[in-house]
Chain A
Amino acid sequence: MTDILEVKDLHTSIDGQEILKGVNLIVREGEIHALMGPNGTGKSTLANVLMGHPTLDVTKGQILFKGEDLAGIATDERARMGLFLAFQYPVAIPGVSVANFLRQAINAHRKARDPEYKGISIPEFRKLLKEKMDLLEMAHEFAGRYLNDGFSGGEKKRAEILQLATLEPSIAILDETDSGLDIDALRIVASGVNTLAGPNLGVLIITHYQRILNYIKPDKVHIMLDGQIVESGGADLAEHLEEQGYDWVREKHNGKVEA
């Protein structure tokens, strides 16, 4: 197995305030990792710094993706290299249909691989989109709606997974994808992720609750506290958290992470 995403001693600040204080993480091809932790410990910051959010400064450490250092590489290029982030709060793009958006995104990816690429044909695109929507049990008219505009929480999350399915990245980060979903929506989203996960896709699920892990079985579970990953283990670690909460982790690491 190749190391596909490797985070080494990553420190990140927002407006001069340090949020990530030395994160280490390796996600290999085909693995499913869960990153858990209480609110405000830096989980979403990690997701966004991996994606190259322009307001986040990496002050120390590095991110390697497929062996390449991502420092100085813009968000769009990271995406075209095969990194994907399913957002916790996807923004609306009024007037742009899901289909139109996805078609342009696919073209951007394919053109990056082949500068001569002329763009996906309408029949090919329709076939592809239909296939992916069926996989996620989405009504086809969804493709005609304006992206995230007036979508319910569940629809937004499903649209994120549809994008994941269509763009076929090598690493997908799901930032609190389970939050705000009812049980049916959670089941559909989880089964979508399970279908997509495989030897070519590594997944990093960021979550506050253990709930989604009843549907998606992680290979590894990490616990984040105050800007560091403080515990790593197998699926049983998540179950342990479910029973015990985060207090024992806090007690165990108190002082250590503050220092």
Chain B
Amino acid sequence: MASSGDIKNLQDIDQYKYGFSDPDVSVYKTRKGLDREVVEQISAMKSEPKWMLEYRLKAFEHFLERPMPTWGGDVGGLDLDSIYYYVKPAEMEGRTWDDVPDSIKQTFDKLGIPEAEQKFLSGVGAQYESEMVYHSIQEHLEQQGVIFLSIEEGLRQHPDLFREYFGTVIPYTDNKFAALNSAVWSGGSFVYIPPGVKVELPLQAYFRLNIANIGQFERSMIIVDEGAEVHYVEGCTAPTYSTDSFHSGVIEIIVKRGARSRYTTIQNWSTNVYNLVTQRAMVYEDASHDWVDANIGSKLSMKYPSCYLMGKGARGEILSMAFATDGQHQDTGGKMVHVAPYTTSKITAKSISQGSGRSSYRGLLKVHDGAVGSKSNVVCDALLLDPHSRSDTYPYIEIDEAEVSIGHEASVSKVGEQQLYYLMSRGLSEEEAIRMVVSGFIEPLVKELPMEYAVEMNRLIQIQMEGSIG
């Protein structure tokens, strides 16, 4: 790129339009740092059944014993003693936006959530700090038995259903951060779609951090009963602070026989947020689950959504997109585990690295003995925008069954001088030309998004690149 003008590594922090913060209006917060007492306080604040407190405490013990991961991104800068593990923003969760305190409602207005709800969503949940402040679903869906509640209300109103599945997809022993989440979880959605019910418009949950040094431990459970269909979308933003914040969610999804589900994430945290998330779907006979995972924000993301293909003919797909610019590390990818015969999976990962940004694809494909006739295809493409941008690929493949069909392709490309010259010879400026190459690169993922999100995604990418290109 030398002769056609170097791309400058200027990250103009003001380009992140969600970086505003509002005054701390919280009604309660635990002290900074974490110990057994803090776990007990969180549980007490939620007036939980005893089994849940015991579960939290066991998970907390496990969290203490478990070493910090030494692979993936550098979590060394994350000071677990300096964050607030639980911040209650309001006295109660609203069923209408009028029930939500003004200062918090204004934030969601600025983010355009109530407007989107009116236009193209089946239901919306909004989390502010540690609690959902709003949850609402279209009445006709509620009448069909669709449940869309905060995770706490799910536990209160549907204790048996909750207990049947909680922690079954991702046990607290899964990894250190799953253990942490299991100890201090707060907020997130509880979703149940009854057999045969097809929810046509997406359900969206929106996560917002406001104060500095906060930890958000969203916990969501989505149960899609036989033959049902749902698309759940999550979005997230935070103010830009000089100190770090922490988001560590656990998402458990059960997709029963013949059901279809899709979970779309548009992660746009500010660049002082550590984002360490465990997401997993159990997919049963002839069912399918898709993860559409776009990671644009955060300081470090470690996130590998996975599908466990448990029933014959189950299908899983991951579309992963990561954009790492200066100071960011996106360590993302996905896992596909074929347990049953004739299961199929597909992973398409696209990453863009700009400036000193680093994106890594980390993926696991595992086919268990007996998963005959299974098929999988993994494609990862990386695009480097600068000579010193970095991209790595860590594909792990474990195949214990002979009768399978596996494909794996990886490519790394640079925005080529020839591409820029070609586009510029048609009158596009260098900046427009680079944007065009980038938007084309992520097109396979963007076209999978509902129209409104596709527009939003393209806009986010443009914002991310603005001011970073000379």
A complexed with B: yes
In A67-85, the 8 Å CB interface with B consists of 74-76, 78-80, 84-85
Q: Is the interface of B mostly helix, strand, loop or mixed?
A: helix
Residues of A near B443 (CB, < 8 A) are 94-96, 146
B243 within 8 A of A: no
Cβ of B439 within 8 Å of any chain A Cβ, yes or no, is yes
Is residue B120 contacting chain A, with contact meaning CB distance below 8 A? Answer: no
Q: What per-residue 1/0 map shows which CB atoms of B419-460 lie under 8 Å from chain A?
A: 101111111111011001101111110000000000000000
With A93-B419, A95-B444 given, is the CB distance from A104 to B428 under 8 Å? yes
Is B441's CB under 8 angstroms from A95's CB? yes
Interface residues of A (CB under 8 A from B): 51, 53-55, 74-76, 78-80, 84-85, 87, 90-91, 93-96, 101, 104-105, 108-109, 112, 146, 163, 167
With A96-B439, A146-B440 as known contacts, state yes or no: A91 contacts B416, CB within 8 Å.
Answer: yes
Q: When chains A and B are docked, how far (Å) is the Cα of A54 from the Cα of B427?
A: 15
Chain B proximity of A109: nearest CB distance (Å) = 5
Jot down 17 A-B pairs with beta carbons below 8 A, ordered by A. Answer: A53-B421, A55-B417, A74-B424, A74-B430, A76-B424, A79-B426, A84-B425, A87-B422, A87-B425, A91-B418, A91-B422, A93-B437, A95-B444, A96-B437, A101-B426, A108-B427, A146-B443
Total interface residues on B, CB under 8 Å, equals: 26
B4 contacts partner chain A, Cβ-Cβ < 8 Å:
yes
**Cβ contacts under 8 Å, B423 to chain A:** 93, 101
Residues in B with CB closer than 8 Å to A80 are 427
Tell me the chain B residues, 376-430 only, with Cβ under 8 Å from chain A.
Answer: 416-419, 421-430
Nearest A residue to B440, CB-CB: A95
- Give the top 3 A-B pairs by smallest Cβ distance, nearest first: A95-B440, A95-B443, A96-B440
Is residue B3 within 8 Å, beta carbon to beta carbon, of the partner chain? yes
Within 8 A of A (CB), among B1-60: 3-4
Residue from A87, A104, A167 in contact with B436 in the complex, judged by beta carbons closer than 8 Å = A104
User: Which of B3, B425, B428, B440 contacts A85, CB < 8 Å?
Assistant: B425
CB-based contact A76/B429 at 8 Å:
yes
A residues in contact with B433, CB < 8 Å: 76
Contacts of B427 in A (CB 8 A): 76, 79-80, 105, 108-109, 112, 167
Given contacts A51-B425, A95-B442, A96-B440, contact A76 B419 (CB under 8 A): no
Contacts of B418 in A (CB 8 A): 91
